[in-house]
Structure 1
């Protein structure tokens, strides 16, 4: 199994475990307050907080650790110059 595949599997497992822990913490802290809400509102609140915490707090910290642990190569600087393609037609310029 390549290092990139190991890193992706490790990141998936760790993300799931972290999401589980965040949801459990939210339910433990705010379960009684959320119980009064309709199910769609509860799902909206929990998923909104979950995504915010995962994207801004948990995953930035874990991604470096997991990448090092799994042995995946670190991304280098972006390549410069033209990309391979037929006369540049495949390149999208914004």
Structure 2
């Protein structure tokens, strides 16, 4: 396991251990970890089996979905803030 992957895993575990987990921070560390795993797998692309390519594809899709959820959550929080601003 490369240092960057190990560090990304460390960051994600730290976020999961927090007493009050924040969805955004946990998602960001999960995206970072997935990104590092994808990069590591791409370096070994020449020696990949068909199963490895399927795994790489699933990891890439997972990362995209997580990024979309995070983007959607950010928009929701902005909308809530605007509503509170109008009321208050």
TM range, normalised to the smaller chain?
Answer: 0.3 to 0.5
Q: Which has the higher contact order (CA 8 A, sep 6+)?
A: 1
- Normalized per residue, which structure has more helix? 2
**TM-score w.r.t. length of structure 2:** 0.34
Computing the radius of gyration over CA atoms, which structure comes out larger, 1 or 2? 1
**TM-score w.r.t. length of structure 1:** 0.32
